[in-house]
Structure 1
C-alpha cells in the first residue's frame, strides 16, 4: 500500500484528488489531508512520513516551500498548482512532478508513473540510494538555446556554443567558442538555474564556464587554480582553494 499525504487548501480540490487516486489504484491510501503550512508542519511532527505527497503551492498562509524549510521532508512530492511560476522552486525541494490545475486523471496517472519509475532511488528511511540531484538532472529541462539582441536583430545562440558567461559592472556578456560576444539581460543566478551543471561550472562570481572551453587548469598560489580557455578572456579566471577540489571532480566528470 502506498500512503499519500495531500496538502491542499481547497476542500473540493482535495476531495477530487482523493477520488482520482482511489479510481486509479485502490492500493493508494490517502493517509491525511492538511490545508495549511502550520497544519502540515504539525502533521509531520506527529506522523510517519508518507510514501508520496501531493501538494498545492499557494496555501492560505503562504507558499508550501516554507514547510520544507521548517521540517525535514523525506518523501517525494508531486506539486499541483494553477501557476507555472514556481517550477524551479519545486525541483529544488523533493519535487518529482509538477501538475498544472485543473487536475485530471490523465495528469495524475502520468505523475504516478514517474513516481513508480524513481521509487528505487529512495530507501525505506527516505535516504536517496542514488543522488536525487542526478535524477533531477535527467528530468529538468535545461535551455539548449537563448536569444540575444544585437541592434535590430534577434539572434539565436546554441547554449553548447557558449564558452563562458561573464559578469562585470555593466552586466552579463557571453562569449561563444568562436569568440563572438553578446550582452544579455539575465542575472548570473538566473542563468545558472537554466544551465546543465554537468556542462557549465560557476568558477567564481564573474565566470560561468563551459567544460568544452577549458584547455587546462594550473596550480596557483595558496592552492587555488588558474584556468586557461580556448578563447580570449576579459580577466584572469581563478578558482578559490575552497572550490578547487569540487571543480576538479566536475572537470573529471564526477
Structure 2
C-alpha cells in the first residue's frame, strides 16, 4: 500500500514511518511532507496515494487548506494532539482520527478500520456517510458572533454577515449593510463556527455568505470570480480545483 505522511514534526513522522513498515513490509511511504505548500505541490503532480496520514497543524497553516485546494480522493487518517478538529475531519475523506502520541496499536486499529471500509462500501457511499455525520453535528454552528467596535462588544447575527476577510493577521467582518467590525479569532476557527450551507471558504483570505453573492464570473485557467453585493478589499478568486465544488454549493447541492 502506497502511503503519504503529512507531518511537520520530523521525529513523529519517522516514528510513524517505522510503525507502518514494521506492521507490513508491503507498505511504501511515498514521501514525508511538512507543509501545506509542499503537500499541495505533491498531490497536484503525483498519482494519489492509497492512504494519507495527516497531521492537522503544519508549519505554514492548517492541513484543511490542502484538501480545499486539491480534490483529494485518497482516504485520510488524521494524527493530531488536539481533539477539537473532528468536525473538520468529517468534512474530508477521514476514516480515522488518532490522538498523539501515536502508538502501534492506534495505527493498527486505524488501518484495520480503513480496510473494513474499503471492502464494505463503495467510495460514494462512504462519502455520503461522512456528510450525514457532519449534518448531524450541525447544531454546533454559531448563530451570533461577538465582534468588537472601539470599546464595545457587539452581538452580530451571522445572517447579517456578507464576508469575513483576513488581512495582516487581522479578521475583518463586513455586513450586508456595509458595516465593518473586527474579531479576535482566526479564519480557520471562524470557518468551523459557521454553517457550511450558508458560508463558503472561497480562499485563504475570504469566507463569503451565500446571500451576499451577486454574480459569478469566469476567470482564466478555469478559475471563478465571486462578485458580492458589497465592495470587497480585493477580488475574490475561486481556484480551478474548487470551482465545481463552489458552483454545486451555490446551487445547494454540494460543497463543504
**Category of TM-score, reference length = shorter chain:** 0.5 to 0.7
How has the CA–CA distance of structure 1 residues 94 and 194 changed in structure 2, closer, same or farther, with 3 Å as cutoff? farther
**Equivalent residues of 2:87, 2:134 under 8 A apart:** no
CA distance in 2, matches of 1:248, 1:133: 21
Shift of the alpha carbon at 1:222? 2.6
What residue in structure 2 maps to residue 139 of structure 1?
Answer: 136
CA distance in 2, matches of 1:219, 1:181: 28
Residue 204 of structure 2 is aligned to residue 205 of structure 1:
yes
CA distance in 2, matches of 1:240, 1:91: 20
The structure whose RCO (Cα within 8 Å, separation 6+) is larger is 2
What residue in structure 2 maps to residue 240 of structure 1?
Answer: 239
CA distance in 2, matches of 1:212, 1:191: 18
Q: Quick check: which has more Rg, 1 or 2? A: 1
CA distance in 2, matches of 1:87, 1:170: 22
CA distance in 1, matches of 2:167, 2:202: 15
CA distance in 2, matches of 1:142, 1:94: 23
Helix, strand or coil at the partner of 1:131: helix
CA distance in 1, matches of 2:88, 2:208: 23
Helix, strand or coil at the partner of 1:235: coil
Residue 214 of structure 2 is aligned to residue 219 of structure 1:
no
Shift of the alpha carbon at 1:223? 2.1
CA distance in 2, matches of 1:221, 1:94: 36
Per-residue displacement from partner, 1:226-246 (whole Å, max 9, x unpaired)? 211011111111212222222
Residue 190 of structure 2 is aligned to residue 191 of structure 1:
yes
* Pairing of 1:1-254 with structure 2 (within 5 A): 69=53, 86-89=83-86, 92=89, 93=94, 125-127=120-122, 129=125, 131-140=128-137, 141-253=140-252, 254=254
How has the CA–CA distance of structure 1 residues 145 and 186 changed in structure 2, closer, same or farther, with 3 Å as cutoff? same
Unaligned runs of 5+ in 1: 1-36, 46-67, 74-84, 96-121
Shift of the alpha carbon at 1:135? 1.5
Unaligned runs of 5+ in 2: 1-15, 25-51, 55-73, 76-81, 97-116
**TM-score using structure 2 length:** 0.52
> CA RMSD, aligned part only?
3.8
Helix, strand or coil at the partner of 2:163: strand
Shift of the alpha carbon at 1:138? 2.1
**TM-score using structure 1 length:** 0.53
Helix, strand or coil at the partner of 1:178: coil
